[in-house]
Amino acid sequence: MATTLGDRLRELRTRRGLTQEALAEAASLSADTVRKLEQNQRLTARMTTLHKLTRALDVETSVLLGAPTVLELPNGSEPASLLELRQSVTPLHEFPALGSDSEGEEAEPPTVAQLRDGIRSTERIRRLGELTKITALLPTLLADARAAVRSYTGEDRAASYAVLAEAYQVAATTLTAFGKEDAAYTALERSMAAARQSDDPRLEIIGVSTLSWIFSKQGRVADAEQVAVQMAERIEPGFRSEPVDLSVWGILLLRGASAAIRGDRADTAEDLLSLAAAAAARIGSDRLDYATPFGPTNAGVATVNAYVDLGKPDQALRHAQRIPNLSSLPPTWLARHCVDRALAHAEMRQNAAATRALLTAERAAPEWMRYHATARHLVAELRERELRRGSPIRDLAIRLQVEG
- Which domain does 341 fall in, by range? 330-404
**Structure confidence at residue 73 (pLDDT):** 42
Residue 244, domain member (yes or no): no
Give me the number of domains the chain comprises. Answer: 2
pLDDT at 47: 62
Burial 259-269 (b: 16+ CB within 10 A, else e): bbbbbebeebb
- Which of 72, 106, 132 is the endpoint of a domain? 72
pLDDT of res. 58: 82
CA dihedral 83, 88, 90, 96 (to 10 degrees): 120
CATH number, domain with residue 25:
1.10.260.40
What is the 8-class DSSP label of residue 58?
Answer: T
Counting every residue, how long is the chain?
404
In a domain, 6, yes or no: yes
Confidence of residue 186 (pLDDT cuts 50, 70, 90): very high
Summarize pLDDT for 26-37 with one digit per residue, the tens. Answer: 999 999 999 998
Is residue 148 domain-resident?
no
Bigger pLDDT: 391 or 104? Answer: 391
At residue 401, what are phi and psi to the nearest 5 degrees?
A: 55, 40
Lowest mean pLDDT among 212-221, 295-304, 333-342: 212-221
pTM: 0.81
Choosing from 14, 39, 72, the residue where a domain stops is: 72
Region 40-54 average pLDDT: 75
In a domain, 16, yes or no: yes
In a domain, 192, yes or no: no
Supply the angle between the helices 331-347 and 296-309 in degrees, to the nearest 10. 30
Domain boundary among 54, 72, 90: 72
Cα–Cα distance list, 221 to 176, 179, 226, 313 (Å): 15, 16, 8, 22
CA atoms of 379 and 375, how far apart (whole Å):
6
What is the pLDDT at residue 332? 94
Q: Please provide the average confidence, as pLDDT, over all residues in the chain.
A: 88
Per-residue pLDDT at 1: 46
